[in-house]
């Protein structure tokens, strides 16, 4: 048995806002949320300044009082995005069999903010113990577990951590849950909150972060020859997925359909991507959906802005798509939203979905300089209308080699 | 529990009204009725479950720079909790 999977609701908490239409307008216009972030080491009183994309004031609402004390920021963002998705789906969870509804989240660094607080408590402040909720606040399945608890859901409640592809895996595996009958509805996505000194130090130390550009919002430059690193951001994106029959039966607003999921391993270097390793999930997702390469009208690229990723991804797209690679419109939104790491796959998925719904493609911001190794159509600087698109793809690749592509089909 | 049995010599005396204020604030932060707190109020009837009681003990430790052996914290009422913390601060 293989059931069709509809996307019926979308919710985002992002550096460009929490209302998808407004986020989309900003993306299309090339706006970037990236600015200078300053992170203090409380022990040495030194500072690390890097470009980051933070949530603007007011984008993340204060959590309910009983929940606030038990959760880290990454769970609070997930709860808000998931609730928005449920609302967008017009889904009254009290009216469905909640044993058939599950939750699936992805994250890379979980509750790292709270982990840092714990270390400060025992090493810096020399207190005898950390807060008793530290495990609950930091555990990687906290987003799924709290969403399930709030909505009283008793289907499969799962978490995935494959670094930058975590939430794409969460959506893909949720799709399989529905396809194969383990659930009728899944709330799936990811969240990441790593704008804290220790986490920034990890990424900075690995030489992955772009330095602050003269104009900070131009720090991340995917596919541009002068790109020199990625920019981290924080946020969450969740979707409601339902079996097609379930969605139709309750008159749900069907936003699109997930038709293909490819999840493969690079199986080589822990951080260095390979062309075949990135082509493999694209081919797998196309095969999974029975979709021909020339049916894909838009591709939301992983496009991190690092030297290694963008040229490798370009070569991988050429390998997977052949001659059609040059007809594709593709872009990376990381110059504008930052790299949301564990939430990046879900955010990219939402962007690809909205491209189909609006028949328009968002740009790759800050793409000013041509690179011979990046010679495809990345929709530089400004978004554009593109009619006739029936399918889109979203790429999401992680350190450790878990590479994911998702293929979407327009609802109409 | 060795780490939690080292109160000697460094803690200050804690007043009952300070403990009461912290408990009221704690109850309010849980979204419960802080105004309903009296020394006679039972923690459980205020809506504080066993997990939240662990959190309360941690916050008492943090605020008053003391260590409270959880196995000895058997307070049923707010008054019990206040008396326990005050007596612990007195080294009793």
pLDDT single digits (tens) B3-44: 334 454 555 789 999 999 999 999 988 888 888 899 999 999
Q: Does B58 touch chain A (CB under 8 A)?
A: yes
Are A165 and A396 in contact by the 8 Å Cβ rule? The answer is yes
pLDDT single digits (tens) B39-58: 999 999 888 888 889 999 99
Inter-chain touch B67–A128, beta carbons under 8 Å: yes
Tell me whether residue A339 is one of the annotated catalytic residues. Answer: yes
Nearest CA distance, B3 vs chain A (angstrom): 6
A133 CB neighbours in chain B (<8 A) are 55
Respond yes or no on whether ipTM tops 0.90: no
End-to-end CA distance of chain B: 18
Query: pLDDT band at residue B1, thresholds of 50, 70 and 90?
Result: very low
Q: Is A410 exposed, middle or buried (0-12, 13-18, 19+ CB in 10 A)?
A: middle
> pTM of the entire structure?
0.93
pLDDT single digits (tens) A45-57: 999 999 999 999 9
- Take residue A188 and report the two structure tokens written for it: 């799936």
- CA A357, chain centre distance (Å): 18
pLDDT of residue B36: 84
Query: pLDDT band at residue A269, thresholds of 50, 70 and 90?
Result: confident
Residue % of chain A over a pLDDT of 90: 94
C-alpha B34/C-alpha A112 separation (Å) is: 32
Query: pLDDT band at residue A74, thresholds of 50, 70 and 90?
Result: very high
Q: Which chain B residue has the Cα nearest residue A125?
A: B62
Are A309 and A302 in contact by the 8 Å Cβ rule? The answer is yes
pLDDT of residue B70: 85
Residue % of chain A over a pLDDT of 70: 100
Inter-chain touch A69–B67, beta carbons under 8 Å: no
Tell me whether residue B49 is one of the annotated catalytic residues. Answer: yes
Number of Cβ within a 10 Å radius of residue A254: 16
pLDDT of residue B11: 59
pLDDT of residue B10: 54
More confident residue, B8 or A25: A25
Average of pLDDT values for A160-187?
98
pLDDT of residue A162: 97
Q: Does B62 touch chain A (CB under 8 A)?
A: yes
Residues 6+ apart with CB under 8 A from B50: none
pLDDT of residue A1: 74
* Complete DSSP assignment for A146-211: HHHHHHT--S-EEEE-BTBTHHHHHHHHHHHHHHTTS-SEEEEEEEE---SHHHHHHHHHTT-BPP
Query: pLDDT band at residue A265, thresholds of 50, 70 and 90?
Result: very high
Inter-chain touch B29–A127, beta carbons under 8 Å: no
Provide the CB-side half-sphere exposure for A343 (13 A, CA): 33
Q: Is the pLDDT of residue B2 over 80?
A: no
Query: pLDDT band at residue A164, thresholds of 50, 70 and 90?
Result: very high
- The β-bridge partners of A405 are A262, A395
Q: Does B1 touch chain A (CB under 8 A)?
A: no
Q: Is the pLDDT of residue A199 over 60?
A: yes
Q: Which chain A residue has the Cα nearest residue B47?
A: A66
- Take residue A207 and report the two structure tokens written for it: 């030489």
What is Dmax (Cα atoms) for chain A? Answer: 63
Q: Is B65 left (phi over 0), alpha (psi -120 to 50) or beta?
A: left
Nearest CA distance, A133 vs chain B (angstrom): 7
Average of pLDDT values for A194-205?
96
From B49, B55, B65, B80, the catalytic residue: B49
Nearest CA distance, B6 vs chain A (angstrom): 10
- CA A381, chain centre distance (Å): 21
B58 CB neighbours in chain A (<8 A) are 129, 131-132
């Amino acid at each position: 048995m293989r059931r069709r999977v509809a996307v019926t609701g979308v919710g985002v908490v992002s550096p460009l806002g929490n209302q998808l239409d407004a986020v989309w307008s900003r993306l299309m216009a090339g706006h970037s949320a990236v600015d200078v972030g300053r992170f203090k080491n409380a022990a040495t009183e030194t500072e690390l300044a890097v470009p980051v994309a933070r949530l603007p004031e007011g984008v993340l609402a204060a959590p309910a009082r009983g929940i606030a004390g038990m959760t880290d920021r990454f769970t609070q963002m997930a709860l808000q995005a998931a609730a928005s998705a449920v609302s967008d789906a017009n889904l009254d969870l009290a009216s469905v069999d909640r044993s058939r509804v599950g939750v699936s989240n992805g994250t890379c660094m979980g509750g790292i903010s709270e982990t840092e607080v714990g270390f400060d408590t025992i090493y810096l402040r020399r207190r005898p113990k950390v807060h008793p909720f530290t495990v609950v606040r930091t555990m990687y399945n906290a987003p799924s577990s709290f969403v399930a608890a709030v909505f009283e859901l008793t289907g499969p409640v799962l978490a995935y951590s494959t670094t930058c592809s975590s939430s794409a895996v969460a959506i893909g595996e949720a799709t399989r849950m529905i396809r194969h009958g383990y659930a009728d509805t899944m709330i799936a996505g990811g969240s990441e909150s790593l704008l804290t000194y220790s986490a920034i130090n990890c990424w900075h130390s690995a030489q992955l972060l772009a330095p602050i550009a003269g104009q900070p919002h131009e720090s991340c430059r995917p596919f541009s020859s002068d790109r020199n690193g990625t920019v981290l951001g924080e946020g969450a994106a969740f979707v409601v997925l339902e079996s097609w029959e379930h969605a139709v039966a309750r008159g749900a607003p069907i936003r699109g359909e997930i038709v293909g999921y490819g999840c493969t391993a690079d199986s080589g270097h822990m951080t260095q991507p390979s062309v075949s390793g990135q082509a493999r999930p694209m081919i797998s997702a196309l095969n999974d959906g029975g979709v021909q390469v020339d049916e894909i009208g838009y591709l939301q690229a992983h496009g991190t802005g690092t030297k290694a990723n963008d040229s490798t991804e370009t070569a991988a797209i050429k390998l997977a798509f052949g001659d059609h690679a040059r007809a594709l419109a593709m872009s990376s939104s990381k110059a504008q939203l930052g790299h949301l790491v564990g939430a990046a796959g879900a955010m990219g998925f939402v962007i690809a979905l909205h491209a189909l719904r609006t028949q328009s493609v968002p740009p790759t911001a800050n793409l000013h300089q041509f690179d011979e190794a990046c010679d495809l159509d990345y929709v530089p600087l400004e978004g554009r209308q593109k009619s006739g698109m029936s399918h889109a793809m979203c790429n999401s690749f992680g350190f450790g080699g878990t590479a994911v592509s998702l293929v979407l089909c327009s609802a109409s | 529990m060795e780490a939690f049995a080292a109160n000697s010599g460094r803690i200050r005396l804690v007043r009952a009204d300070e403990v009461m204020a912290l408990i009221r604030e704690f109850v309010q932060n849980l979204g419960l009725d802080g105004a309903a707190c009296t020394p006679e109020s039972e923690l459980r009837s205020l809506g504080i479950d066993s997990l939240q009681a662990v959190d309360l003990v941690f916050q008492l430790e943090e605020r008053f720079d003391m260590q409270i052996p959880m196995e000895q914290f058997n307070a049923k009422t707010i008054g019990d909790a206040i008396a326990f913390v005050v007596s612990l601060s007195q080294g009793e």
